[in-house]
Structure 1
Amino acid sequence: MPRKFAIVEKYSDAGLELPKRATQQAAGYDFQAATDFTLPSIWRVPFLRVLKKIRIGEALTTDEMKQAKADVKPLLVPTGVKVYMEENEYLMIANRSSNPLKRGLVLPNGVGIIDADYVDNEQNEGEIFVQMINWGLTDRTIKKGERIAQGIFMPFLVTDDDAQDTKADRIGGFGSSGIK
């Protein structure tokens, strides 16, 4: 299969651009947001309340913990893009260097890994999402077409005895290896 990007069907008429490298020596392909998307700041009252209670040593209720966790939960920013690649490759999704510094946006998982068998899965056609948290003081609206991450194609190796292990076929989408 040739290595290439494609627009998922859901966004076929949305006028999206495929990821591209900005300069001749750029390692990463710039991914853009498929829609306007608001990332709320983590600095909301439930989260601040929990931080205060932790600081002064007060016990937390289950409800307080649940509300605070909701404030720091990452959200998935859609790109409308899927990727085809060779079997022994993956696409590493990394944050743009300007995101934390200028916008307070981070990838909580550090990097995302898109496996070659993620494309065209039943759940979401292999659409690539960028997992993000907004550490800024105010909500941040990402505009459609704004560059949010970069993808770098990487080869990978397996152990010499890897063929002995039974592997499942991928059946799920984001965050799923098809294994329950």
Structure 2
Amino acid sequence: MLHKVQIQRLPGNEDIKLPQKMSELASGFDLYAALPEQVVLAPGQRALIPTGFAMAMPAQLEAQIRPRSGLALKHGITCLNSPGTIDADYRGEVKVLLINLGQEPFTIQRNERIAQMVFQLVPAVLLEEVSELSETERGAGGFGHTGRT
């Protein structure tokens, strides 16, 4: 099933590429920096990078903002809240929260690919309060309860 997502280019960003897939079977749409001037991220520094567009999705979708693997591997640049979630009712500019976990300063240029956006279906869920939960073999075990391996 094809889901229609409306994209609005924001004023002053006519030169910024809109999200696009870089190959036919890619799951993510690359996002581009819509910076008025370059930004230098020092090691450990974070910045909210605009993309120059807003969008409207159908209610059954969410968009997840994820790191680009090449930037993460080569430079230590990743998304701080990964995956970042964009809800279907959000109409503001899409922005990407980047952090430099590398050893060197990293310069982000206007129209540079900075992250990717993957759309996911959101199931309809009804939370039901109960006084007891069903038993399982695992129970409440979590956070490494099965050992190191």
* Per-residue deviation, residues 11-56 of structure 1 (Å, max 9, x unmatched): 34x41111111111011110011122221222xxxxxxxxxxxxxx
2:110 pairs with 1:108: no
**Residue 132 (structure 1) shift:** 1.0
Q: Runs of 5+ in structure 1 lacking a partner?
A: 43-71, 120-125, 163-180
Distance 1:26 1:4 in 2: 20
How far, CA to CA, are the matches of 2:82 and 2:17 in structure 1?
A: 25
Distance 2:76 2:116 in 1: 17
* CA-based RMSD: 1.9
Shift in Å at residue 158 of structure 1? Answer: 2.8
TM normalised by structure 2 equals: 0.75
CA distance in 1, matches of 2:28, 2:59: 20
Shift of residue 161, structure 1, vs aligned partner = 5.6
SS of structure 1 residue aligned to 2:72:
helix
Report the counterpart of residue 8 of structure 1 in structure 2.
10
Q: Is 1:83 aligned with 2:85?
A: no
The 3-state SS of whatever aligns with 1:116 is coil
1:58-79 Cα offsets, whole Å, 9 max, x none, are: xxxxxxxxxxxxxx5x320111
Instruction: Give the number of the structure whose residues are more often helix, by fraction.
Output: 1
4+ residue runs over 3 A deviation: none
Find the aligned partners of 1:114 and 1:21 in 2 and give their Cα distance: 18
User: % of aligned pairs identical?
Assistant: 32
Equivalent pair of 1:6/1:18 in contact (CA under 8 Å): no
| 2:57 alignment partner AA | M
State the distance in 1 between where 2:72 and 2:24 align: 25
- The whole-number CA distance in structure 2 between the counterparts of 1:161 and 1:109 is 25
| Equivalent pairs, count | 124
Match of 1:37 among 16, 36, 39: 39
Q: Give SS of 2:89's match.
A: helix
Could you tell me how far 1:6 is from its partner in structure 2?
2.0
Unaligned segments of structure 2, at least 5 residues: 129-149
The TM-score normalised by the length of structure 1 is: 0.63
Q: CA deviation at 1:4?
A: 2.7
